[in-house]
Amino acid sequence: MAAANRDAFWAPSSKVNPDLARERESATFDVRELTHIIDGSPDRTKRRKELENLLYSEPVFRDVGRLSMERDEIYEQGVLKSIKLFEWSRKYKWDDDDFELASRLANHDISMSLQHAMFIPAIERLASDTQKAKWLPRALHYEMIGTYAQTELGHGTNLMELETTATFDPERNEFIMNSPTVTSMKWWPGALGKSSNTAIVLAQLIVKGKNHGLHPFLVPLRSMEDHTPLPGISVGDIGPKMALNCIDNGFLIMKNVRIPRENMFMKNAEVTRDGRFISRGVDKANYATMVLVRVKITRWAFESLSDGATTAVRYSVVRRQSSLKPGERELQVLDYQSQQYKVLPALAASYAFLMTNRSLHRLYDSVHADIMAGNTKLLAELHCQSSALKAYMSEVVVQLLELCRQACGGHGYLASSGIGLLCASSAPLVTVEGENSVLYQQAARYLMKQVAKAVVGDPVASGFQYLLTQSSSDRPDIRIQNLADCGNLDTLLQVYQRMAFSVVTGAARKLQMAIESGVEQHVAWNNNMVSLIQAARFYALHGIAKEAGYFLATPTLTPDQFELVRAAELQAMAKVRHDAVPLVDAFDLHDICLHSALGCYDGNVYERLYALAQTSSLNKTQVHPAYYKHIRGLVKDGQKQLRQQSKL
Ligand SMILES: CCCCCCCCC/C=C/C(=O)SCCNC(=O)CCNC(=O)[C@H](O)C(C)(C)COP(=O)(O)OP(=O)(O)OC[C@H]1O[C@@H](n2cnc3c(N)ncnc32)[C@H](O)[C@@H]1OP(=O)(O)O
Ligand SMILES: Cc1cc2nc3c(=O)[nH]c(=O)nc-3n(C[C@H](O)[C@H](O)[C@H](O)COP(=O)(O)OP(=O)(O)OC[C@H]3O[C@@H](n4cnc5c(N)ncnc54)[C@H](O)[C@@H]3O)c2cc1C
């Protein structure tokens, strides 16, 4: 699509779809006020608008051409966007919030996203003060372009079995980095393939023949002069993915690559000049970067889900299809209860996830400050909460985005709907930064310890007090006698706590019984893994309806009470349906950020679908070259055969 048309494409039209306009006129609340709450404050809304103007005045951030781009072009666009953000960050001295916001406005569609998502945070968290003074300026001025290389071809989850080695050579005061086997090559790290010139490599530290476990090392990959790989380094792209193809996820093989001893990150441990290994702080402090990214992923979950909900809600009030009674006007599909059941949970969960991310981020900031001051008391609880919430929220996002896609019928399957790409780019959230089933188990492990404490009356961690309150014999009955009771948040919280108490202590009991029967601990754990994972998962009415089994199979709700909850859920959906459009408008997503013909603010869906169809590369010529190469021959042969047949 020519640049001029591209600009026309995104310019909001004064002609707004009448159904959409009517929905906005009947809002029961002040949308702008809610937008300020979502942004965090009026100032943050103002800041977001400033950044939108900055980014979207740049052609590279407006381009609708991405729908029919080749991988190399997608990658190069992603590099260009990265560099734009880096230049603005340096020029305007953006803080982390501004950078994260700008990255979000670019849909995180930036090739070198790891520079600020992991590389710089890892240096801030894992380097000694001397190393920070040396490396941070080089990373913040983008001389060092970096990645976080931990996962290998053969291992991603099980860090203990990572094979890359860093062997200390006391003669030359260096570490020798090696990828000893094919499965040990680093595989997946973002921006590793073609962009990065430096990597933080996680490797088994070997000193005088002894393995001191996994430690981070700063490894130069490419020449700072001409970007060619340095001696002993083989590096490249691992190939196209389902989405996120602007990112050059790469492989890295190291053969006897020598780095100075000072390149071992030394905040939490060091190797002295004479080869002594000294460990400092907590054993798992080197895992700090993973905890941070898990918290970020809960934010990305909100962002992806609010995008999907906005498109699905706006399209569902614009789209009219079929009538409830013959002869009547076709219905807005959002008036079908089944459509509400598909789309409104994504809207509800978007708000729930926004608030949950905020709460988790506050916990993270507080615990991180403690750890930087040497107090690691709450690290285990943070690890549990960040693992469980990253797993649960990414799982729900993937499920609900797929439902939003299905709710948009055939047009939801078009790339121009934006939802397919949203599903594909959010899909890896259940895998990255710790595969979900593994992280749920980490949370379950911590939960089991809290149960053990509650059972003997010892104090339990702040987030798990329900294990005590729900265990007392005089715990209050759950008061759900009518629909109004189902709207009482304290009552719903009590329902969840009651259920959680039963599921968690039930899992603990099964585990304990298995171990007491003589089964070894790790076998008992595996045999009860599903119960343990369930113990680590749980949102309001819809959550109860969806997970009926856990609320009915435990002494939580009677069947009658459960039916009341179901009725209340449908009643709540009808109420939310009235304000569904103002509720998604409050996310205030610029059309360029949403990148969807179905979700555009003006609701001119059909004109936009048709306009975007023109950008299809197949429409460059009226008759496609494939006709002349292949189809014409087929038709001519057919005509010849028919002529011959008619002569018979
Ligand atoms: C928008 C779309 C963009 C989408 C694109 C976005 C791309 C983002 C970039 C992605 C980057 C990556 O994926 S980077 C790679 C991410 N990789 C991972 O996350 C690997 C996952 N695996 C792990 O974290 C570990 O192997 C884990 C499963 C926890 C097991 O750890 P270990 O074997 O070392 O130890 P365990 O025996 O299980 O646990 C020992 C103790 O350590 C504690 N422990 C374990 N991990 C801990 C941690 N992180 N912080 C604190 N404590 C921890 C446990 O609770 C135990 O405590 P006690 O019970 O008290 O003993
Ligand atoms: C888009 C993307 C970006 C990435 N970016 C980076 C990056 O920048 N840096 C980096 O280092 N890595 C990165 N990764 C790698 C990512 O961290 C790993 O894919 C992830 O840790 C899972 O490891 P794995 O792929 O080896 O799967 P495995 O660990 O082999 O697991 C495979 C499957 O086995 C099952 N499983 C494994 N272990 C257990 C268990 N203990 N209990 C129960 N089931 C289990 C699970 O179903 C799991 O899905 C990225 C991956 C993707 C997809």
For a pocket test of ligand 1, which of 283, 297, 386, 432 has the largest count of ligand atoms closer than 8 A to its C-beta?
Answer: 432
Residue-level pLDDT at 121: 95
Dump the DSSP string for 438-484: HHHHHHHHHHHHHHHHHHTT----GGGTHHHHTTSTTPPPP---SHH
pLDDT at 6 over 60: no
| Per-residue pLDDT tens over the stretch 356-369 | 999 999 999 999 99
Q: Whose CA is nearest to atom 39 of ligand 1?
A: 442
Residue-level pLDDT at 1: 46
Check pocket membership of 295 for ligand 1, CB cut-off 6 A.
Answer: no
Residue-level pLDDT at 537: 67
Residue-level pLDDT at 36: 95
Ligand 1 atom closest to residue 449's alpha carbon, by position in its atom list: 59
* DSSP helix/strand/coil, 252: strand
Q: Compute, in angstroms, the gap from residue 431 CA to the centroid of ligand 2.
A: 5
Structure tokens that stand for 130 in this block: 């001397």
CB atoms within 10 A of CB 419: 28
| Per-residue pLDDT tens over the stretch 513-529 | 999 999 888 888 888 88
Check pocket membership of 525 for ligand 1, CB cut-off 6 A.
Answer: no
Residue 584 per-residue DSSP state: H
190 annotated to a ligand binding site: yes
pLDDT at 472 over 80: no
Q: Compute, in angstroms, the gap from residue 450 CA to the centroid of ligand 1.
A: 20
Ligand 1 atom closest to residue 428's alpha carbon, by position in its atom list: 4
Q: Whose CA is nearest to atom 7 of ligand 2?
A: 189
Report which secondary-structure segment, H or E, holds 203: strand 198-207
From the CA of 425, the nearest ligand is: 1
Binned at pLDDT 50, 70 and 90, residue 4 comes out as: very low
Check pocket membership of 107 for ligand 1, CB cut-off 6 A.
Answer: no
pLDDT at 39 over 50: yes
From the CA of 281, the nearest ligand is: 1
* DSSP helix/strand/coil, 566: helix
Q: Which residue has the tokens 């196209």?
A: 240
| Per-residue pLDDT tens over the stretch 604-629 | 999 999 988 888 889 999 999 999 99
Minimum mean pLDDT range among 395-404, 450-459, 476-485: 476-485
Q: Which of 23, 303, 433, 569 is catalytic?
A: 433
Q: Compute, in angstroms, the gap from residue 157 CA to the centroid of ligand 2.
A: 5
Structure tokens that stand for 300 in this block: 């990305």
Q: Position 566: which residue type?
A: R
174 among known catalytic residues: no
* φ, ψ at 404 (rounded to 5°): -60, -40
For a pocket test of ligand 2, which of 435, 439, 526 has the largest count of ligand atoms closer than 8 A to its C-beta?
Answer: 435
Residue-level pLDDT at 3: 47
| Per-residue pLDDT tens over the stretch 240-291 | 999 999 999 999 999 999 999 999 999 999 999 999 999 986 667 778 888 9
| Per-residue pLDDT tens over the stretch 360-399 | 999 999 999 998 888 888 999 999 999 999 999 999 999 9
- For CA atoms 376, 381, 387, 390, the dihedral sign is negative
For a pocket test of ligand 1, which of 115, 159, 401, 437 has the largest count of ligand atoms closer than 8 A to its C-beta?
Answer: 159
pLDDT at 11 over 60: yes
Q: What is the mean pLDDT of residues 549-563?
A: 82
Residue-level pLDDT at 94: 96
pLDDT at 157 over 80: yes
- For CA atoms 602, 608, 609, 612, the dihedral sign is negative
3-state secondary structure 542-596: HHHHHCHHHHHCCCCCCHHHHHHHHHHHHHHHHHHHHHHHHHHHCCCCCHHHHCC
pLDDT at 146 over 50: yes
Neighbouring-strand partners of residue 211: 206
Q: Which residue has the tokens 């899909």?
A: 427
Which candidate, 183, 185, 193, 186, places its Cα nearest to that of 250? 193
| Per-residue pLDDT tens over the stretch 316-338 | 999 999 999 999 999 999 999 99
User: Are the C-beta atoms of residues 166 and 217 closer than 8 Å to each other?
Assistant: yes
Q: Whose CA is nearest to atom 29 of ligand 1?
A: 442
Q: Compute, in angstroms, the gap from residue 152 CA to the centroid of ligand 2.
A: 9
Residue-level pLDDT at 372: 82
Residue-level pLDDT at 423: 97
603 annotated to a ligand binding site: no
Ligand 2 site, CB within 6 A = 114, 148-151, 155-157, 188-190, 244, 249, 428, 431-432, 434-435, 437-438
Report which secondary-structure segment, H or E, holds 429: none
| Euclidean distance between CA atoms 369 and 362, whole angstroms | 11
| Per-residue pLDDT tens over the stretch 58-111 | 999 987 566 778 999 999 999 999 999 999 999 999 999 999 999 999 999 999
Q: Compute, in angstroms, the gap from residue 339 CA to the centroid of ligand 1.
A: 38
Q: What is the ipTM of this complex?
A: 0.98
Q: What is the mean pLDDT of residues 163-192?
A: 98
Residue-level pLDDT at 65: 60
Ligand 2 atom closest to residue 191's alpha carbon, by position in its atom list: 8
From the CA of 525, the nearest ligand is: 2
What's the chain's average pLDDT? 92
Residue-level pLDDT at 549: 78
